[in-house]
Amino acid sequence: MSTTTADEHHDDHHPSGIMRWITTTNHKDIGTLYLWFSFIMFFIGGFMALIIRTELFEPGMQFVDPQFFNSMTTMHAIVMIFGVVMPAFTGLANWLIPLMIGATDMALPRMNNWSFWILPFAFAMMLSTLFMDGGGPAGGWTLYPPLVLQTGDAFPFVIFAIHFMGMSSIMGAINVVATILNMRAPGMTLMKMPLFVWTWLITAYLLIAVMPVLAGGVTMLLTDKFFETSFFNAAGGGDPVLFQHIFWFFGHPEVYILILPSFGVISSIIPTFARKPLFGYSSMVYATASIAFLSFIVWAHHMFTVGMPLAGELFFMLATMLIAVPTGVKVFNWVCTMWRGAMTFETPMLFAIAFIILFTIGGFSGLMLAITPADFQYHDTYFVVAHFHYVLVPGSIFAIIAAVYYWLPKWTGHMYSEFWGKTHFWLSTIFVNITFFPMHFVGLAGMPRRIPDYALQFSDYNQIATIGAFGFGFAQIIFLGLVIATIRGGVKATDRVWEGAEGLEWTLSSPPPYHSFTTPPNVKGEWNWFTHQHYETVKTRS
Amino acid sequence: MNTVADIDHELEVPTQFIVQHNQSLSWRGNKIFIINVGILSFSIAGVFALHGLWLILPFVGLEILILSVALYTCCLRNRYKEVITVGNEKLIVEKGLQQPNETWEFDRAWVNLELRDSKLLGHPSKLLVRSKGSQTEIGECLTDEERESLARSLMRTLHITLNKS
């Protein structure tokens, strides 16, 4: 035993090497793991998209057989939803929520470790099904019976992989809820929380409410296949349409699980670069809660063509259109935040502005799809593909990219290259439109989705979309290079990083210490974005 | 978030150090949240069960159980409190949830502080107070940095050096 005094210089000491990442319970480490996992899956899912687009470059069958094509559409969706967007937002939540609410870490750090490490195993299992007899799942991510029950050896592995993904999501959501409810700094009331924290609290609530529905649904598929139950088997007295109700009761809130944290990210970025406080903070919170509530009562708009009573069709049509109101409040508030602001256009702001414009286009096509008689024409066409890709790519993915650019200097302590950031932005924005905008036209002209071949009349727009997809894919390699370069070095970032940035995370050093706040910051008074009187932060480390 | 101030100056005696978690929502508030989520989730599962799709119910039950245990664990952990009183003659350590469940009294003149790093990867350090053969751990709910900060403050108050191992 050596005897020293505690006044000696003291660094953050924590495990290093591979064991650091396997055994870590630190929110920043786990956030980093989630983000890298998501990034890797983004390239895997993107590669699948390029296979789809390559096959669709010309009419006729060129490169893959129809079964594999349908496996690609199914896997691409599952990977992008459960492997990219959800883990990316969980990674952002891990990194940012403790920093934003003034906590040292997440409330349940060991469970946090588990919820991440389940994911690589779940996706290894899911991707391995592509190499099994009968190929991977090819019935679409919606897993409708009886089609999905025709899956070969892969079927039980797909179900178990989905269970694992669900477990990971639920554990992540419980951790977020426990952290936000119990670990806010003194003085940080619910209505003083940053919008990103609010949107994640509501997202976690949605996750907890709907994930068991998916778990129950896929388990019933499993028992129908292997234990001779007849939940969805008409011959045994079951009803396959009931599965669609189950799936979309989960699936529609899932759509909001994928987009609500984006709203939080954009609500953080816009005020920073407009150098104005967020317009209508309270209305943003209530709008988010309203969207979450409405998400529970609109699921059957995915099933207009399945057949339901006229009153049901009317109810679901009107309830769906109602979602435009709180969403419109959000877009209005973001635009009002920018109105007469001292705006600058750094890369995160460019992605945020593109998000607002392009997500709104996706929202408008959603309104078109909400109109029941119109949906009878649009259903299962490329118009639907265009709609949800506008919501998810320039929506969720752009928000995630914007978040990375915005907080990367805080995470790494280095500024990224603005030149390469803007190059990435312009290439992504141009190519994302080249990819998905023509899909509106082929969809309206009647091109069905999930079909590897198509009529000659759709060739031109499909070729444009394929060129756009490859361009968008290559643009993301710039992003990968930029992230790696920023981690490795660069101009030192200041603690506050952005002139207009407000929030507790900016009061910490860049990069922040291993444990975030060793003394609780005291959040007093109302938001004051200019005088910094808002926070009376006791900083013990830098 | 835990409460411990890193005090740079020498403190007057008697001095009290209160080590506790920051708890931003009461257990009652947590219970309201659990009941809220529970009512919603069981209502959804109940409606599906009425249509014969009963397999959603056990998943909801399991999830609400895990949520309840998680929030209860947080609240229970956050109620933990250590009160360390440094007097002219004695150093008193009290530990408990709502009230002191355990109390130690040490002769101040013989008090020895040791900050012991864990031999196990990723495990927390320990801050031990000992005197005349008896010892107890303090700052259990703190991070390593916070624990060292508490040790420094105690060291200044007690006019002793810290044993680090």
| Cα(B89)–Cα(A70) distance, integer angstroms | 79
Q: How many CA atoms lie within 13 A of A457 on its CB side?
A: 8
B157 part of contact set with chain A, CB < 8 Å: no
* Contacts (Cβ under 8 Å, ≥6 apart) of A114: A171
Nearest-Å Rg of the Cα atoms of chain B is 22
Cα three-residue angle A96-A516-A532, rounded to 5 degrees = 75
A101: helix, coil or strand? Answer: helix
DSSP one-letter code for B129? E
User: What does the DSSP assignment read for A351-382?
Assistant: HHHHHHHHHHHHHHHHHHHHSHHHHHHHTTBH
pLDDT of residue B152: 87
Cis-peptide, bond into residue A146, ω within 30° of zero: yes
Tell how far CA A48 is from the center of its chain. Answer: 18
| Cα(B152)–Cα(A6) distance, integer angstroms | 6
Both tokens assigned to A53: 């687009």
pLDDT of residue B18: 83
B2-50: pLDDT as tens digits: 444 444 455 555 788 888 887 889 999 999 999 999 999 999 999 999 9
| Cα(A40)–Cα(A122) distance, integer angstroms | 14
Both tokens assigned to A317: 């049509």
Active-site residue, A302 included: yes
| Cα(A149)–Cα(A236) distance, integer angstroms | 15
* Cβ atoms of B23 and B78 closer than 8 Å: yes
Q: Looking at CA atoms only, how far is residue A276 from chain B in angstroms?
A: 29
Which of A240, A254, A169, A171 is closest to A210 using CA atoms?
A254
Both tokens assigned to B67: 């949520």
| Cα(A401)–Cα(B83) distance, integer angstroms | 47
B102 part of contact set with chain A, CB < 8 Å: no
- For chain B, where are the E strands, in sequence order? 2-3, 15-21, 81-86, 90-96, 100-107, 112-116, 126-131, 134-138, 162-164
Element (H, E) at A535: strand A535-536
Which of A512, A89, A530 is closest to A271 using CA atoms?
A530
Give A-chain residues touching B4 at CB under 8 angstroms: 519
Consecutive 10-residue runs of chain A (542 residues): their mean pLDDT? 35 67 91 97 97 96 95 97 97 94 90 96 97 94 94 95 96 96 89 94 96 97 95 93 96 96 97 94 96 96 93 96 96 96 96 97 96 95 97 97 96 96 98 98 96 95 98 97 95 91 86 68 49 39 32
| Cα(A153)–Cα(A251) distance, integer angstroms | 25
Asked whether the beta carbons of residue B155 and residue A5 sit closer than 8 angstroms, the reply is: yes
B73-109: pLDDT as tens digits: 999 888 888 888 888 888 899 888 877 888 999 988 8
| Cα(A521)–Cα(A440) distance, integer angstroms | 50
- How far apart, in Å, do the first and last CA atoms of chain B sit? 26
Which of A174, A264, A248, A179 is closest to A214 using CA atoms?
A248
Handedness of CA A325, A329, A332, A334 (dihedral sign): negative
Helices A281-295 and A195-226: crossing angle in degrees, nearest 10, is 10
* Residue reference for tokens 């910094």: A532
Element (H, E) at A522: strand A522-523
Other beta carbons within 10 angstroms of residue A443's beta carbon come to 24
Other beta carbons within 10 angstroms of residue B88's beta carbon come to 7
* Cβ atoms of A90 and A23 closer than 8 Å: no
Both tokens assigned to A1: 């035993």
Asked whether the beta carbons of residue B155 and residue A540 sit closer than 8 angstroms, the reply is: no
Which of A396, A393, A84 is closest to A263 using CA atoms?
A396
| Cα(A412)–Cα(A490) distance, integer angstroms | 10
- Complete edge-to-edge strand list for the sheet that includes strand B126-131: B134-138, B126-131, B112-116, B162-164
* Cβ atoms of A354 and A429 closer than 8 Å: yes
Helices and strands, counts by H and E, chain B? 3, 9
pLDDT of residue A521: 62
Which of A66, A42, A71 is closest to A55 using CA atoms?
A66
As for the ipTM of the complex, it is: 0.88
Active-site pick, A24, A262, A267, A428: A267
| Cα(A272)–Cα(A516) distance, integer angstroms | 22
| Cα(A402)–Cα(A394) distance, integer angstroms | 10
Active-site pick, A302, A387, A389, A440: A302
pLDDT of residue B147: 85
Please state the domain extents for chain B: 2-21+81-164, 27-78
- How far apart, in Å, do the first and last CA atoms of chain A sit? 30
B150-162: pLDDT as tens digits: 888 888 888 777 6
Q: Looking at CA atoms only, how far is residue A187 from chain B in angstroms?
A: 9
Cis-peptide, bond into residue B14, ω within 30° of zero: yes
* Residues forming beta bridges with residue B16, ordered by sequence position: B85
pLDDT of residue A15: 64
| Cα(A80)–Cα(A491) distance, integer angstroms | 33
| Cα(A348)–Cα(A262) distance, integer angstroms | 13
B78 part of contact set with chain A, CB < 8 Å: yes
Closest residue, chain A, to B48 (C-alpha): A246
Which of A257, A224, A54 is closest to A151 using CA atoms?
A224
* Residues forming beta bridges with residue A523, ordered by sequence position: A535
* Residues forming beta bridges with residue A173, ordered by sequence position: none
CATH fold for the domain made of B2-21+81-164: PH-domain like (2.30.29)
* Residues forming beta bridges with residue B103, ordered by sequence position: B94
* Residue reference for tokens 């929380």: A193
Asked whether the beta carbons of residue A212 and residue B145 sit closer than 8 angstroms, the reply is: no
Active-site residue, A239 included: no
Tell how far CA A389 is from the center of its chain. Answer: 12
Active-site residue, A252 included: yes
Q: Which of A2, A25, A208, A223 to mutate to test the interface with B (most CBs of B within 10 A)?
A: A208
| Cα(B149)–Cα(B162) distance, integer angstroms | 12
Active-site residue, A105 included: yes
Which of A207, A375, A231 is closest to A296 using CA atoms?
A207
B82: helix, coil or strand? Answer: strand
Q: Looking at CA atoms only, how far is residue A299 from chain B in angstroms?
A: 13
* Cβ atoms of A285 and A193 closer than 8 Å: no
Measure CB to CB from residue A174 to each of B70, B146, B162 and give the nearest one.
B70
Closest residue, chain B, to A222 (C-alpha): B55
Q: Looking at CA atoms only, how far is residue A290 from chain B in angstroms?
A: 16
Give A-chain residues touching B74 at CB under 8 angstroms: 107-108, 178, 182-183
pLDDT of residue A339: 95
B153 part of contact set with chain A, CB < 8 Å: no
B152 part of contact set with chain A, CB < 8 Å: yes
Cα three-residue angle A359-A214-A295, rounded to 5 degrees = 40
| Cα(B111)–Cα(B85) distance, integer angstroms | 13
Q: Looking at CA atoms only, how far is residue B81 from chain A in angstroms?
A: 16
- Phi then psi for residue B128, to 5 deg, are -110, 135
Cα three-residue angle A126-A132-A135, rounded to 5 degrees = 85
Measure CB to CB from residue B2 to each of A104, A175, A215 and give the nearest one.
A104
Asked whether the beta carbons of residue B63 and residue A212 sit closer than 8 angstroms, the reply is: yes
Other beta carbons within 10 angstroms of residue A281's beta carbon come to 19
Closest residue, chain B, to A172 (C-alpha): B67
| Cα(B117)–Cα(A257) distance, integer angstroms | 42
